[in-house]
A = this chain, B = another copy of it.
Amino acid sequence: MFQNKMPRYDILSQESMATLHAGWRRIVSEIGIEFASPWAVDMLREAGQEVSGETVKFDPDWVMKQVAKAPREFDLRARNPKNNVHIGGDSMVFGAVYGPPFVREGDVRRDGSFADYENFCRLSQSFDALDSVGGVVTEPNDLSLDSRHLDMAFAAATLTDKFFMGNVVTHENAKDVIRMAEIIHGGRAAIEETPALISLVNCNSPLRWDDRMLDSMREYALAGQPVVTTPFLLMGAMSPVTIPATLAQQMAEALVAIALVQLVRPGAPVVFGSFLSNIDMQSGSPQFGTPESGIGLLCTGQIARSLNLPFRGGGGLNSSQTVDAQSAYQTMMTMMPTFLSGTNWVMHTAGWLEGGLVSSYDKFVVDIEILQSLMAEFTPLEFNEASLAFDAHVEVGHGGHFLGAAHTMDRFRDCFYRPFLTNSDNYERWMRLGAKDTRARAEEIWKKKLEEYEKPEMDAQVLAELTEFVAKRKSELDA
C-alpha cells in the first residue's frame, strides 16, 4: 500500500474554505436534500431535522456533530492479509475502473462479458500497484441481471486475494455480498471488527438521494462496512458551472449522507466521495481529465482534511475513444492531482476509457505505468552524505561520466523508476522491433500477464461454502 509522504498541494485560502462551509450550510438548511427512502426521512425527522415530504432541511451544526462520529481513518481487510489496506491519512489505495458496460480489446469495442470481468480480475491480481479490482470492472452483460452480482463477487473473491467492493444495485444484492464477505473472513464479527467491503453510493445530484443507493448504503452501514458517499457532479448538468458552487454542493450532498450513516450506525466508516468533472457546453457530453476536474480534486482533498474524513476521487479519467495521446494526457491531468491531493481511495485507476463507458485492456496497462511512475515521483528524497555523492564528483572530475563510478555501481539497479511499458529505444532499434506504439506494447503486456497469471489459493472449506452460497442464491434469483 502506497504512503504519500509528500506535501499536499493545497490551493484554497482560509477565506475560501469558510465561504464553502457557509455555502453548504445554506444549501442544506434553506433548500434541503431529498431522500427517496421513507426509512431515511423518518430517521432524520426523529433526529430533529425539518421534514416536508421527501425533502429534509438540516441543522448544519447537527450534520457536523454526526460527521464527527465517523472515524478519521480505518482498515480494510483483504483475503490475503498482505493485501490489507488502510483508508485515510497518508495512505493511497487504488482500484480499477468501475462500471463500464463496454470493453475495448485492441481495435475492437464490444459488450463486456463475464470472461472480460474475470480477465480484469486476473490483471488486477497481477499488478502489485493495484490494491483492488474494485467492483464492476466491466458489466458482465452475458450474465443474468438478477444474479450477476454473485458471479462478480465470486470472481473477485477467488481470482484475486485483494479486497473488493460491495454491490449497490439493490439492498438485497448488498446483503448477498456482505454474506459472502462473512464466509470469506470468518463470520459477521470479523468483518464488523475490520471491514472487508467498501461500496460506492452515488447521489442523484443535484440534492437528491435515491432509494436504491440509500437502501444499499443502509445495509453496508448496518454491517459496519464503509460507504463512499459520492455526489455525481458534471458541472453544467448536475451542478452549477462554477467550481466553488459545485464544491459547496458536493459538501452538502456528501455530508448529509454521512450524517445519515452515523444515525444508522454511529461510528460506521465512511469516505467523503468526489466525482467532479464538467460537460462540454456545446454538445452536452461529459468531459473527463479537464482542468476543472483537476482543480476540483485539489480542493476536495483540502475540504476532506478540514472535515477529518478520508476521501475518494481522481483516477485515470479521460474522454478518449481510443488509447491515444488524449487518453494519456487526460489521465495524467487527473492522476497527478490525485497524488497532489493525497487521495485516499482512488477508483478508476486502471482501464478507464471513453468517459467510463469502456474498460480497455490496453489502457489498463498504460494506467499501471502511470500509477507506478507517480508513486515514484511522490516518494520523498533522501538527503544525506551518501545521496549527496561528493565522492562521486571527486572520482569523476571534470567532463567525465558517472556510468562506471562506484556510487553508480552501488545503486544502478534501483536508483531510478524502471518502466515496463515506456520505451526509449533509439529509432533504428524501435523500427527493427516492429515500430510498436504504446498501445501495441500494452497489448503484448496484458496478454503475457494473463498467460502467466496464477490463481491465488483459497481455503477449500471457504471455497466450498462460498460456492454453495452462490449456487443457492443464483438458483433462487434466476428462478
Contact = CB atoms under 8 A, between A and B. Distances in A.
Contacts of A6: 11
A189 interface: no
Contacts of A180: none
Interface in A237-252: 237-245, 248-249
Interface stretch (A115-123, A213-221, A405-413): A405-413
Given A207-B398, A235-B416, A278-B416, A388 B290 contact: no
A286 B281 CA distance: 42
Interface stretch (A27-35, A73-81, A134-142, A164-172): A27-35
Interface in A3-27: 6-7, 9-12, 15-16, 19-20, 23, 26-27
Contacts of A430: 321
A415 interface: yes
A390 B329 contact: no
Contacts of A382: 242, 244
A324 interface: yes
A319 B424 contact: yes
Contact of A291 (B204, B237, B374, B435): B374
Given A242-B389, A336-B336, A326 B423 contact: yes
A458 interface: no
A280 interface: yes
Given A240-B405, A241-B408, A321-B423, A340 B397 contact: no
Given A381-B295, A422-B330, A427 B238 contact: no
A6 B294 CA distance: 13
Given A236-B412, A381-B16, A402-B241, A290 B320 contact: no
Given A290-B416, A398-B33, A399-B204, A333 B330 contact: no
Nearest to A416: B278
Nearest to A280: B424
Contacts of A424: 280, 283, 285-288, 319, 355
A392 interface: yes
Given A109-B427, A285-B426, A398-B33, A393 B207 contact: yes
A285 B403 CA distance: 12
Contacts of A460: none
Integer count of this chain's copies in the complex: 2
Nearest to A407: B240
Contacts of A32: 398
Contact of A206 (B322, B340, B354, B400): B400
Contact of A425 (B12, B321, B340, B388): B321
A319 B415 CA distance: 19
A238 B407 contact: no
Contacts of A401: 206, 237-238
B332 A16 contact: no
Contacts of A294: 377
A191 B272 CA distance: 57
A397 B9 contact: no
A29 to B, nearest CB: 11
B332 A398 contact: no
Contacts of A354: 427
A271 interface: no
A249 B318 CA distance: 39
Contacts of A386: 242
Contacts of A331: 329
Interface in A276-305: 278, 280-281, 283-288, 290-292, 294-295, 299
Nearest to A282: B418
A153 interface: no
B411 A19 contact: no
Given A237-B402, A249-B393, 13 more contacts: A7-B9, A31-B394, A33-B398, A240-B393, A240-B402, A242-B389, A281-B415, A319-B423, A321-B427, A325-B327, A325-B442, A333-B373, A355-B424
The 9 closest A-B pairs by CB, nearest first: A332-B332, A245-B389, A291-B377, A319-B424, A328-B328, A241-B415, A291-B376, A325-B328, A240-B389
23 contacts: A6-B11, A9-B340, A11-B380, A15-B383, A34-B399, A206-B398, A206-B400, A207-B399, A241-B402, A242-B386, A242-B387, A243-B381, A249-B393, A281-B412, A319-B424, A322-B437, A323-B325, A325-B438, A326-B438, A329-B373, A332-B336, A333-B377, A357-B427
